[in-house]
Structure 1
Amino acid sequence: MHGLHLTADLHDCQCAMQWLTDKEALGAVCVKAATAAGLQPVGKLVHGFPATPQGPGGVTATVLLAESHLCIHTWPEQRGATLDVYVCNFGGDHSAKAHALMECLVSLFKPGHSERNELLRGKVAA
């Protein structure tokens, strides 16, 4: 049950609007980034939301990984996104791969400001 859970809240994203609104493009780049980081995608679900009076609709993208998951939610009207990368470290430490995936995705969105967190899960008390 040991794992690493990384989160990032991205604000003032300077990326192309495509990455905040295009479910096909975002889903594809998520799978590509996970694979490039050395993780194994085993499934994907991407949902695009309709436009509102506040602006274009966002996207929720989830990639199931053999090692756990990646999830992204976008808010194009706020030029923001939240990222969630979790890897189980059963049978091997995938922490470096999780960090590589997170760095790739943060660089895609080009945030002006971000808050990032790291949580070790399943840590056994000494």
Structure 2
Amino acid sequence: MQGLHLMADLRDCRCDPVWLTDADRLGAWCEEAVLRVGLHPVGRLFHAFPATGQGPGGVTATVLLAESHLCLHTWPELQAVTADVYVCNFGSDHSDQARALMDAIVALFAPEAVALHPVRRG
């Protein structure tokens, strides 16, 4: 049951706006990023929300991992993203991979401000 849960609020993202609105593109990036850091995807769900009076719809991108999950939620009208990376450390410690994945997420979205909330689980 022990693990590391990293949650981040990314504000004023300076990335290409497509990363905040294109579910397929963001989802493909998530799957590639997970593999690059040595985690193991076992499922996925990418969803684009419809546009509103405030602007284009955001995206939820979720990759289910053998180790736990990655989930991103975007708010293009706010240039904001919430990121959730959780790894269980059953059998071996995946904390370094979780931190590397969160670093890659922050680099992709290039936020002006990051509020990182790490939680040790278990």
TM-score by length of 1: 0.96
Per residue, is there more strand in 1 or in 2?
2
Unpaired runs of at least 5, structure 1? none
Cα offsets for 1:74-110 (capped at 9, x unmatched): 0000000000000000000000000000000110000
1:55 aligns with 2:80: no
Secondary structure (helix, strand or coil) at the match of 1:34 reads: helix
RMSD: 0.4
Mapped to 2, the partners of 1:109 and 1:41 lie a distance apart of 22
State the one-letter code of the partner of 2:111. P
Cα offsets for 1:16-58 (capped at 9, x unmatched): 0111000000000000000001000111001100001100000
Aligned length: 122
Unpaired runs of at least 5, structure 2? none
Mapped to 1, the partners of 2:16 and 2:25 lie a distance apart of 11
Secondary structure (helix, strand or coil) at the match of 1:12 reads: strand
Secondary structure (helix, strand or coil) at the match of 2:103 reads: helix
2:30 is aligned to 30
1:11 is aligned to 11
Mapped to 1, the partners of 2:8 and 2:34 lie a distance apart of 16
Mapped to 2, the partners of 1:76 and 1:2 lie a distance apart of 34
Greater C-alpha radius of gyration: 1
**Deviation above 3 Å: which 4+ runs of structure 1?**
none
What is the aligned-residue identity percentage? 62
1:46 is aligned to 46
